[in-house]
A = this chain, B = another copy of it.
Amino acid sequence: MSPSLPSTYTSLTLSSRPKASIIPGETFATNTTNPTPSPTSLRDGQILFQTLFLSLDPAMRGWLNDTRSYIKPVQIGEVMRGSSVGLVLASKSNKFAKGELVLTNSAGWTEYAVLDDKHCERVADTGEGKRRSAIDSLSVLGLTGLTAYFGILRIGEVKKGDFVVVSGAAGATGSVVGQIAKIKGATVVGIAGTDEKCRWLTETLGFDKALNYKDQDFAKKFREVTKPKLIDVYFDNVGGEILDLALSRAAPHARFVMCGGISQYNEAVQKGPRNYLMVVSMRIKMQGFIVFDFEKEYAAAREELAGWVKEGKLKRGETVVEGGLKEAEKALVGLYQGANTGKLLVEVAKLEDKAKL
């Protein structure tokens, strides 16, 4: 039997801006006494939302800084922002019915929320059950998959015969990037942080090669693997030393797809790529992008991604952290330490435990 709706619920708010790494228990405040909204309090167009899965993304660290960026910083005292999937527990919306799964960027790190239906999207049924559909909507068919898709195709302009190197290759985005590059006929080398991740890349995802950047001989191996063919496309999720190595081994007119720099997000003073002048001598196009820029093309891209998943050409990987919302903070710290393989999600509530009204 499902539990009934509790009288209070938990949310996590930003408590102080970290100067370097996130400090569990200090960066976020856990508020356990929010009064749960009553279904009868909903206004027209609103739904009562119960969070099932939170998406944890490297970009989140940037949202905690009070600096100019592509998105407003999370404010002190504000519920931590993030994509999530949840269940419609009650609805006064024409768009969504009770029991449906919806995706939103407006709930954030909370167990329950009242949402306007215009900030929600229906979760596509991928035909493998509700749980799988929920996870896919945050990963391979969500902003993660779309980021990989537009990054490697539009910014990277990957084509048959290209030599592609992906950093953070066992992460949510990188793992999809490398597979799309393979689908397009490129040779793909992935960089990851454990031998097990490297094996996953080559044995399960079909990368041509994978290198562990924690390997003592990594720089040497990197140079070997980029000889004699130099890098045509480098997809960067990481920055730091690996970006410098990639610059040193770039082919003329290489495309450097700048998606993120997870090695730098938690540094008080960030380091720039000291080999950046290779951009001049090798005529590199180093270009950043944000998936939002391609919003009008999401539907078509999702369709293509879903097709590849069905055909078995695009394999999914995810690390689901159990234990509820209270695990989110530690899980986010773990993201920056490479704890996950594939997409990192926190399971806030299990589908079978959905609240009963």
A335-346 interface code vs B (CB 8 A; 1 in, 0 out) = 000000000000
User: Of residues A62, A252, A287, which shows the largest number of chain B Cβ atoms within 10 Å of its Cβ?
Assistant: A287
Contact A239 B277, CB 8 Å, known A252-B70, A271-B272, A272-B272: yes
Per-residue CB contact flags for chain A residues 11-24 toward chain B (1 = under 8 Å, else 0) read 00000000000000
* A side interface size, CB within 8 A: 36
Query: Which of A25-33, A135-143, A194-202, A288-296 has 4 or more CB atoms under 8 Å from chain B?
Result: A288-296
Flag whether A282 is at the interface (Cβ < 8 A).
Answer: yes
With A and B bound together, what is the CA distance between A308 and B80 in angstroms? 56
CB interface residues, A 260-275, toward B, < 8 Å: 260-261, 264, 269-275
Chain copies in the assembly? 2
Q: Is the CB of B293 within 8 A of A289?
A: no
Q: Are B283 and A285 in contact (CB under 8 A)?
A: no
Give the one of A69, A279, A288 with max B CB within 10 A.
A288
Across the interface, which residues of B come within 8 angstroms of A293, CB to CB? 283
Q: Is A276 an interface residue (CB 8 A)?
A: yes
Query: Mask for A213-236, Cβ within 8 A of B = 1, else 0?
Result: 000000000000000000000000
Check A351 for interface membership: any CB of B closer than 8 A. Answer: no
Instruction: Give CA–CA (A210, B213) in the complex, Å.
Output: 45
- Interface residue A258 (Cβ < 8 Å from any Cβ of B): yes
A276 CA / B274 CA spacing, docked (Å): 11
In the complex, what residue of chain B is closest to A270 when comparing beta carbons? B274
Collect the chain B residues with CB atoms within 8 Å of residue A288's CB: 278-285
Max chain B CB contacts within 10 Å: which of A69, A239, A244, A279? A279
CB–CB B272/A70 < 8 A: no
